[in-house]
């Protein structure tokens, strides 16, 4: 039990480190995108920021949903695996 707790804490700390660590954004070095964003006004920059948030939201919610379903179904899969060992065959 103690080993699982230490492992979970290590995973959480590694995740926090990855989120907080600055990462170079090499995908944002497109010259055309940079010049268009630099030449636009404050309203366009705000629209660009809003668009980025709108595009990030569905994949994030989908990933959270898949993780939630997997977490809820974990015991069902475990009981199915133990039933297969008892002689049940497809």
Mean pLDDT (10-residue bins), the chain, 90 residues: 84 85 62 78 85 91 93 77 56
User: In which domain, by residue range, is 65 found?
Assistant: 50-85
Domain count, the chain: 1
Identify whether 71 is part of a domain: yes
Domain assignment of residue 66, yes or no: yes
Q: Is residue 67 part of a domain?
A: yes
Contacts of 7 (CB under 8 A, 6+ apart): none
- DSSP structural state of residue 57: H
Please give the span between the terminal C-alpha atoms of the chain, in angstroms, as a whole number: 34
What's the pLDDT at 47? 87
User: What is the pTM (predicted TM-score) of this model?
Assistant: 0.46
């Amino acid at each position: 039990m103690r080993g699982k707790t230490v492992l979970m804490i290590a995973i959480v700390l590694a995740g926090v480190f990855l989120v907080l660590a600055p990462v170079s954004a090499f995908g944002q070095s497109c010259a055309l995108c940079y010049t268009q964003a630099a030449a636009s006004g404050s309203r366009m920059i705000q629209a660009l920021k809003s668009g980025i948030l709108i595009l990030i939201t569905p994949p994030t919610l989908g990933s959270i949903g898949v993780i939630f379903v997997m977490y809820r179904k974990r015991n069902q899969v475990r009981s199915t695996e133990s039933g297969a060992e008892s002689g049940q065959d497809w």
